Amino acid sequence: MKRSIILWAAMMMIAISCEKAMPVTETSGIPMTLTATISSDETRLSFTDDPANKVIKTLWEAGDKVSVVSIGADNAMIANDIFTTESSGESVDFTGTFTGGNDAVKIMVYYPAMTESYSQSNGTNWGAPSYNGGYNKQGILYNICVGDKYIHRNSSNFLQRSADSPDHLKDLMILAGAGNMNDIRNNSLTVTMEHNLYVFKVNLTFPTEDDIIRHVELVRTTSTGSTGKDATISWSGWGYIYAYGGRSAGGYSNLVRMNLGDKITSQEMGSGVNIPSSKKLTVYIPAGTTTNGVIGVNTGDKFRIDCKGTRSSYSKTLTVASNTTFKRGMVYPVDVTF
């Protein structure tokens, strides 16, 4: 077993097939079934931490949705079709209607589904549902539009609602996979879905239980103290909808944050969670990778963990002992005692 917790060990295979042989047309949608089959420990959408085996086990749940995005020869979006599963488990069927028409040359399948529509200057846009009780207008994926080539990933105001629970990752993790429209015309499509983010599992031990923690930040600096591009820990911003799998553009950051509590306050911090009587608290923080899915970390680089409580602030600096890499789809434990 690798030293890191494995969020998933392999790639997800999704098959889409028409109910009957028929040509793709522009004037009517085609009912289709999308089948997601994944071996054990590699499924995705409800989260249970299994520390003994160093894996987060995940399963599809009834009601899960994915976006099937049709893309034209100009690499711009044609349609955003929502497919839904009514089953739970490791292998489930998603059903929906494909409306991409004859002009579609490629599709991308995205989780979470971009089900929310809103008006922007370029027309109607779609995004995933808000992930923090409505404090952010947009979800983790947002601003896709017919005729546009771009998709955006949110990176702010994440919220973990309870101590030690990874349930919030369901709304923050991203899966994307590409397929070819020629396969749909042959009534069969296989798509490889890949995680776009990785996760820090920050295990905190406090000197007291008499505090309420409102947010946790993980900050990277290089061994020389730089906080610029060389100290990247996450990427955000926009990417191309036809080739989404990492940072295509946007900005880099040397900091990731998780707010704690049942809501985001006006100070852009969580309302807070009580430190348990054990004085231990686990926080799960997702981060974005670069285009190739890897962020390198060097011997001597430093990570500072900052926690904001209602009574006190806590800070600790850790030094990287050897060169390593952060890879999308993986979970990396960070143990901190204040």
What tens digit of pLDDT does each residue of 197-232 get? 888 989 999 999 999 999 999 999 877 766 666 678
Please state the rounded mean pLDDT for residues 65-81: 92
Identify the residue with better confidence: 247 or 65: 65
Find the domain containing 322 and state its range. Answer: 200-235+250-337
Does 185 share its domain with 209? no
Residue 122 confidence class, pLDDT cut points 50, 70, 90: confident
pLDDT tens-place string over residues 179-188: 777 667 666 6
Assign residue 45 a region: left if phi > 0, alpha if psi is -120 to 50, beta otherwise?
A: alpha
* Residue 15, pLDDT score: 35
Domain count, the chain: 2
Q: How many CB atoms lie within 10 A of CB 188?
A: 11
Does 96 map to a domain?
yes
Closest to 4 (Cα-Cα) out of 167, 221, 200: 200
**Residue 201's Cα: distance from chain center in Å?**
15
Does 14 map to a domain?
yes
Does 306 share its domain with 332? yes
Does 177 share its domain with 204? no
Does 213 share its domain with 144? no
Does 121 map to a domain?
yes
Place of tokens 């490791």: 90
Does 217 share its domain with 271? yes
* Residue 146, pLDDT score: 94
Identify the residue with better confidence: 287 or 273: 273
Does 156 share its domain with 206? no
Domain of residue 278, CATH code: 2.60.40
Q: What is the mean pLDDT of the chain?
A: 77
* Residue 34, pLDDT score: 56
Does 106 share its domain with 64? yes
Please state the rounded mean pLDDT for residues 113-132: 89
Identify the residue with better confidence: 291 or 172: 172
The sign of the dihedral angle between the CA atoms of 241, 242, 246, 249 is: negative
pLDDT tens-place string over residues 138-161: 788 999 999 999 998 888 889 999
Distance between CA atoms of residues 229 and 213, nearest Å: 29
Cβ contact 321:245 at 8 Å: no
* Residue 17, pLDDT score: 32
Does 282 share its domain with 159? no
Q: Is the pLDDT of residue 194 over 80?
A: no
* Residue 173, pLDDT score: 81
Span of 4-13, 53-62, 255-264, 314-323 with lowest mean pLDDT: 4-13
Does 244 map to a domain?
no
Distance between CA atoms of residues 10 and 5, nearest Å: 14
Does 243 map to a domain?
no
Does 31 share its domain with 86? yes
Distance between CA atoms of residues 178 and 315, nearest Å: 42
Report phi then psi at 184, rounded to 5: -65, -40
Does 171 share its domain with 222? no
Does 245 map to a domain?
no
pLDDT tens-place string over residues 26-71: 334 665 555 444 333 333 345 455 555 454 555 678 888 989 999 9
Spell out the residues 6+ positions from residue 208 whose beta carbon is closer than 8 angstroms to its own: 275, 279
Closest to 96 (Cα-Cα) out of 84, 109, 87: 84
Does 185 share its domain with 213? no
Does 31 share its domain with 165? yes
Does 333 map to a domain?
yes
HEC secondary structure over 15-65: EEEECCCCCCCCCCCEEEEEEEECCCCCCCCEEEEEHHHCEEEEEECCCCE
Q: Is the pLDDT of residue 8 over 50?
A: no
Does 241 map to a domain?
no
